[in-house]
Amino acid sequence: MWISKKIFFISTALVVTVGIYTACKSVAVTGRKQLSLVPESQMIAMSTEQYAQVIKQGPLSTNQTQVAMIKRVGNTIKTAVEKYMADQGRSKELEGYNWEFNLIQNDTTVNAWCMPGGKVAFYSAILPVCVDETGIAVVMGHEIAHAIAHHGNERMSQQIVAQVGAEAVDVALSTKSAATRQMFDLAYGAGAQYGVMLPFSRKHESEADKMGLVFMAMAGYDPHKAIDFWKRMSQVSGGQAPPEFMSTHPSDARRVADLEAFLPEALKYYHQ
């Protein structure tokens, strides 16, 4: 029995290792290597179903001026992104994308998001922070960047690896006392959460900030305005945030500093 469990542990480790080496891709714009274990078609299918449910619940905004602005900015950035991906020979990464841009009437949730496959939703509460069309472009570029960078796939892949790893650790410690196994299980869980998941989440947010800056610049929106937007967002949050090492987002100060440092690169696309 112990031998079979040991074999299972070794086999699991090999599966994880092979998966990591065979499922690495690079992110557009930044070139960062990432883990991708889930077929993108599956990610898009799941996202399409979830998005349909959200839109059905709504309620969708009836403010035609605001709705038109969301769709206009979304389509403008989408067009710029598709051209960029084509120029880079990466159009295949957008297969299955069926872009949608919707505005949900919600005056309390300051948020927006983009699911795999180009499914975008804005909540009306974020519009006062955006102020104008360029502010919307900041948010739109950032959220679309998450989809283009396949961050959803990467995070799910990390969770798969973490889950497989947790099971392997449990098997490896099966001959130990229950208290010992519990201690290691808790240690592994904390390590996976604070050592991997959240730092990668912060990395994704920072990467989306930079890619979004490039995308809005490609679409003809002044990337300088992104700095002003994130400063306004900082005021909305009122500085109430958990310690950065426990947060899924960079601190407001770091985010602004990183964007200011990356601005010269984004401006190259704005002046083209």
- Position 96 pLDDT exceeds 90: yes
Domain assignment present for residue 21? The answer is no
**Tens digit of each residue's pLDDT (9 = 90 or more) over 127-167:** 999 999 999 999 999 999 999 999 888 887 777 777 666 56
Q: Which two tokens stand for residue 215?
A: 């995308």
- The overall longest dimension of the chain from CA atoms, in Å, is 68
| 92 within domain boundaries | yes
User: Comparing 40-54, 114-128, 210-224, which segment has the lowest mean pLDDT?
Assistant: 40-54
**60 DSSP assignment:** B
Which segment, 24-28, 41-45, 63-67, 90-94, is predicted with the most confidence on average? Answer: 63-67
Residue that is written with structure tokens 């960047």 in the block? 145
User: Does the residue 13 lie in any domain?
Assistant: no
Average pLDDT over residues 33-37: 84
Per-residue pLDDT, averaged over 241-263, amounts to: 71
Of 266 and 251, more confident: 266
> Which pLDDT band holds residue 227 (cuts at 50, 70, 90)?
very high
Q: How many CA atoms lie within 13 A of 133 on its CB side?
A: 15
Domain count across the chain: 1
The predicted pLDDT at position 16 comes to 47
Give a yes or no: residue 66 inside a domain.
yes
Which active-site residues does the annotation give?
143
- Domain holding 43: CATH number? 3.40.390.10
User: What are the φ and ψ backbone dihedral angles of 174, each rounded to 5 degrees?
Assistant: -65, -20
| Cis upstream peptide for 59 (omega within 30°) | yes
pLDDT computed for residue 187 by the predictor: 54
Contact 123, 60 (CB under 8 A): no
How far apart are alpha carbons 53 and 36 in whole angstroms? 26
Quick check: is 165 in a domain?
Answer: no
Q: What is the pLDDT of residues 164-195, one digit of tens each?
A: 665 655 655 566 666 655 654 555 555 555 55
Considering only residues 163 and 82, tell me which one the structure prediction assigns the higher pLDDT: 82
Residue 108 makes CB contacts below 8 A (sequence gap 6+) with 125
Give residue 60's domain range: 33-153+198-270
Residue 81 has pLDDT above 70, yes or no: yes
- The number of C-alpha atoms within 13 Å of 216 and in the hemisphere containing its C-beta is 25
Residues 230, 26: Cα–Cα separation, whole Å: 27
> Mean pLDDT of all residues in the chain?
80
Confidence band, pLDDT 50/70/90 cuts, at residue 210: very high
pLDDT in tens, 200-209: 577 888 899 9
Q: Is residue 243 part of a domain?
A: yes
Given pLDDT bands bounded at 50, 70 and 90, which one contains residue 20?
A: very low
Higher-confidence residue of 267 and 46: namely 267
pLDDT for position 174: 63
When pLDDT is averaged across residues 99-121 and rounded to a whole number, the result is 93
